[in-house]
Structure 1
């Protein structure tokens, strides 16, 4: 038997703002608050095939570059259309040393956490 990832925890200054952004990006819903921490995830909630995201209020300064980042793939449109949607939702281009030849786009969420939009379209998880 093995483990699987059921939730990811992201420290942030404003859990509501970040929750709104990541719900828009991932098609998630707000699942609930536990103190200052907001959990978002698929409508099915915790324990399904997709992990939930815990947005944990923190005032601690973050390192310049996190050792982990998220990659996302479009599910119902091509990469260019998805890039436009993410930028309209509040993402912004980020520079991490790309050559310009990459097949992905490097973006930052509203608090500057870097994530990548990959090219390949994937099926949405039911």
Structure 2
């Protein structure tokens, strides 16, 4: 059996705004506008009103990570995510060094509009991690 590529899809209210937030979080890039359009604004202006700003995407410039796709939906977020992203900033670090890396990343993301939910400190079984919310309230962790 072959390994399959996949994308992670987010239902959201403002696809481009949320995609650009995640570009900043992950170091991802937004795609160029569709062929024949100088900007995304030009592309959106060409669409029927109900399709304007309906979707946006971003991807890992190295090609290693999955593409993220953001699609506008009419309903707001109503429950806890069943799936969330873990942003790996402390890999290979332990103790105070790991916690310092997580706290520094948390401060950077809060400045971008993320919400710090709490800090979970290391115990006998788990290393520290920090649950957060993105700019539309979707849960994610930095670990």
Is the TM value for this pair above 0.5? Answer: yes
Report the Cα distance in structure 1 between the residues aligned to 2:73 and 2:130, rounded to whole angstroms: 28
Alpha-carbon distance in structure 1 between the residues aligned to 2:104 and 2:3: 35
User: Do residues 50 (structure 1) and 73 (structure 2) align?
Assistant: no
Q: Quote the RMSD (CA, aligned, Å).
A: 2.4
In the alignment, does 2:121 pair up with 1:101? yes
1:38 aligns with: 56
TM-score by length of 2: 0.67
> 2-side partners of 1:101 and 1:74: how far apart?
15
The residue number in structure 1 matching 2:113 is: 90
More strand by share: 1
| Structure 1 gap segments, 5+ residues each | 119-126
Q: Which residue is equivalent to 1:123?
A: none
The alignment status of 1:6 with 2:6, answered yes or no, reads: yes
Gaps of 5+ in 2: 35-50, 91-99, 123-127
- Which residue matches 2:27? 27
Q: CA deviation at 1:32?
A: 5.1
Structure with greater helix share of residues = 2
Following superposition, the deviation at residue 62 of structure 1 comes to: 2.9
Which structure would you say has the larger Rg?
2
Separation in structure 1 between the aligned mates of residue 72 and residue 113 of structure 2, nearest angstrom: 19
Runs of 4+, deviation exceeding 4 Å: 32-35
Superposition deviation, residue 4 in structure 1: 3.4
Structure 1 SS opposite 2:30: strand
> 1:5: Cα distance to partner?
4.4
Aligned residues: 111
The CA distance in 2 between the partners of 1:6 and 1:33, in whole Å, is 22
